[in-house]
Structure 1
Amino acid sequence: MSFSPDQDARAILLPAFDTFDFMDVMALFLEKGGCSVLLGESRSEYVARSMSAERLAGETADVFRAPIARLKAICPQLIVAVDQELGGIQRLQGLVPNLPSLDEAHALSDEALAERCRVTAMAARELGVSMFLAPIADVIDGQNPWLRGRTMGTYPEAVARLVSAFVTGVQSAGITAVTKHFPGFNDLEQDPALVDVSLHTPLDRLLHNALPFKAAIAAGTRAIMTGPAPVAAIDRENAASTSPAVMTMLRDAFGFKGLIVSDDLDAPATMRGRSLLETAIAAVNAGADLLLVGGGPHLEALCDGLAAAAQSGQISPDRLAEAATRVRRNAVGL
């Protein structure tokens, strides 16, 4: 089956919403070729690393399933993503069996940890979820206000073990694990979602701390998310999610063949003064397949802009089609 640039432009976008008030936007998006949605959290929930009391009180399993069912009536193979991090943000808090705490996770055997993750993922599948934006593989050995309270340890070997077990467990339940945030952000002075900041860690340290990503790839992670800020040792000008050099490293040096997901393209450290459309074009050209963006009425114009960029040569139509094909293959479980 062949697809138009308009359909491909929509297939590569992962729009995020923090409420279920999205049918007007998502219905048109899916009807015209979109196939993904991120059911996210509010900024206050993100900062708190916990779902709000209001959400926990009012969001039952049936409440959660209902809007997904409406979307799947339009797009049966819909990718439904959530943040469900071991030791970090858990969007499905109160709806599925808890993932183990970090202390528990470190104490469990590989097999027992994978089983705990599988149980959580099976319950998520029952809700209609198909993708976890997790595990977090970053090893923090400096400061990092962006990832504070979300990472799994300070030693690469220990984090690599948890990452491998998480990937094995959730994917055995049919959930795609999106290991993040390549190549690893061990020491950032500020939050890249709020300010334009860069990582200045030397390359040898980056590679030392990248063991969890190698472990995730060895465990078969179906997707990897690139980070939201420039990594000066690799590319001073472009955030990891818009950097051809970072994508080449992931594909060639790390041997990853799966789906590359961008971090939020709205982040100041990713946009670096560009428009959202310009940033999205840069991400596709760099090698990203699925682009995380904020959902809303602007989505239609962004899709049209990406399609026009492919038709004008700003994006190679073959690169756009390649990205869209990877997303669609993930959606059907291939």
Structure 2
Amino acid sequence: MTFTITEDARAVLLPAFDGTLLSDATKRFLDGGGISLLLGESRDEYLARRMSDSRRNSETAETLQRVTDAARARSGMLLAAVDQEMGGTCRLHDLVPQFPALRDLPFASEEEIAEISKLIATGASSMGINVFLSPVVDVLTGPNKWLEGRTWSNNAELVATLSAAYIRGVQSGRVAATAKHFPGYSTTTGDPAVDENAINPLALSDVEAGLAPFRAAIAAGVEMIMVGPAIVMAYDHAKAALRSQTVVQVLKKTLGFDGIVMADDLDSMATMRGDSVAAVAIDALNAGCDFLLLADTGTQLDEIADAIETAARSETISAEALAKSATKVRRLSRKYEAQSCHSAEGKCDQRVAGSAS
């Protein structure tokens, strides 16, 4: 099946929203070639590392199933993502089994982590969710307002071992895993979401010391790796990691990762540094990212999709590279849709067969 540039420009976007209803913008996006969404959390929930009591009391598995079903009905295939972190943000709250308590995670075995991760993924898959934006594999060695409460050990070897077990468990449970945030933010000078001057100031040797969990994730077969939102001085003094070809090439060439490279939030202040979201999106694609996370707010989703399409038609970005990235995203969707539907008593076999290209 042949796809248009219009469709490719939408296939590489991952829109995030904190509710459980599709906005008009998301509907247009899915109708026009988009195949993904992130069921996110509010800023307060994100900061608290806990879903609100009102959400926990009102939201059911059927709530999430309805929104993923509605999206699939429009797109024909879907990557439905959530944050489901060990020791951090767990978007699915009480709807799935729980990880060991934060204090107990460092003492868990690989087998225990793989087993519970598979159970959590199986529960998520039954709701139509097939992507986890986790594990967090940054190894904190200094202050980090952004990642405090989202990591569970400062031992790189332990993070590598148990994160690899998480990835194996989740993906055997029919959910694609995403290791984040490359190349690692052991410390930051601020929160990249709100501080445009936030950076990772560490020397190259210190940054490289934190790459072990990413290597382990790749060895475990992780489907996606998310590149971080702030400048990493050791690699690039001028551009945030997700906008830096230097950083992305370390991931692809030095570490040998050939899966989907995801860009973290395009509209983080430390990513934009005064530029537009559209400029960030173009830079991220030119740097080698395949899949771009952005907020579904106002008309932003339409605007960024249109900006990517215009850039591809004017050769500001490579239309061929855009098509390859879109193909990788669609291939992942078909892979995990097929696995998810296979376990759902065949109720969506016809839809998946019809979406194959």
TM range (shorter): over 0.9
Q: Which residue of 2 aligns with 1:224?
A: 225
1:164 aligned counterpart, secondary structure: helix
Quick one: which amino acid aligns to residue 239 of structure 2? Answer: N
1:311 equivalenced with 2:308 (yes/no): no
Q: Which residue of 1 aligns with 2:352?
A: none
76 and 2 in structure 1: CA distance in 2 versus 1, 3 angstrom threshold: closer
Task: Determine if contact 2:16/2:39 at 8 Å carries over to the other structure.
Answer: yes
1:168 aligned counterpart, secondary structure: helix
Task: Determine if contact 2:312/2:319 at 8 Å carries over to the other structure.
Answer: yes
> How many residues end up aligned between the 2 structures?
334
Q: Which residue of 1 aligns with 2:122?
A: 122
Once the two structures are superposed, residues 189-241 of structure 1 have per-residue CA deviations (whole angstroms, 9 ceiling, x without a partner) of 21000011111111111111111111101111010000000111101111111
Quick one: which amino acid aligns to residue 293 of structure 1? Answer: L
TM (norm. structure 1) is 0.98
Distance 1:291 1:320 in 2: 12
List gaps (5 residues or longer) in structure 1.
none
Distance 2:106 2:155 in 1: 12
1:80 equivalenced with 2:71 (yes/no): no
Percentage of identical aligned residues: 43
Q: Which residue of 1 aligns with 2:158?
A: 158
TM (norm. structure 2) is 0.92
Once the two structures are superposed, residues 9-53 of structure 1 have per-residue CA deviations (whole angstroms, 9 ceiling, x without a partner) of 000000000012324222211111000000000000000000001
Flag as ranges the 4+ runs of structure 1 deviating above 6 A. none
Task: Determine if contact 1:137/1:152 at 8 Å carries over to the other structure.
Answer: no
Q: Which residue of 1 aligns with 2:274?
A: 273
Higher mean C-alpha deviation, range 197-206 or range 127-136:
197-206
Once the two structures are superposed, residues 95-150 of structure 1 have per-residue CA deviations (whole angstroms, 9 ceiling, x without a partner) of 11112223333222211210111001100000110000000000000000000000
Q: Which residue of 1 aligns with 2:354?
A: none
Shift in Å at residue 264 of structure 1? Answer: 0.3
Once the two structures are superposed, residues 241-296 of structure 1 have per-residue CA deviations (whole angstroms, 9 ceiling, x without a partner) of 11100110000100101001110000011111111111100000000101000013
Shift in Å at residue 152 of structure 1? Answer: 2.4
Q: Which residue of 1 aligns with 2:110?
A: 110
Quick one: which amino acid aligns to residue 303 of structure 2? Answer: A
Quick one: which amino acid aligns to residue 309 of structure 1? Answer: A
Distance 1:56 1:165 in 2: 28
Q: CA RMSD in A?
A: 1.1
Q: Which residue of 2 aligns with 1:138?
A: 138
Once the two structures are superposed, residues 49-94 of structure 1 have per-residue CA deviations (whole angstroms, 9 ceiling, x without a partner) of 0000110111011122111111111123200000000000000001
Task: Determine if contact 2:35/2:75 at 8 Å carries over to the other structure.
Answer: yes
Distance 2:76 2:311 in 1: 28
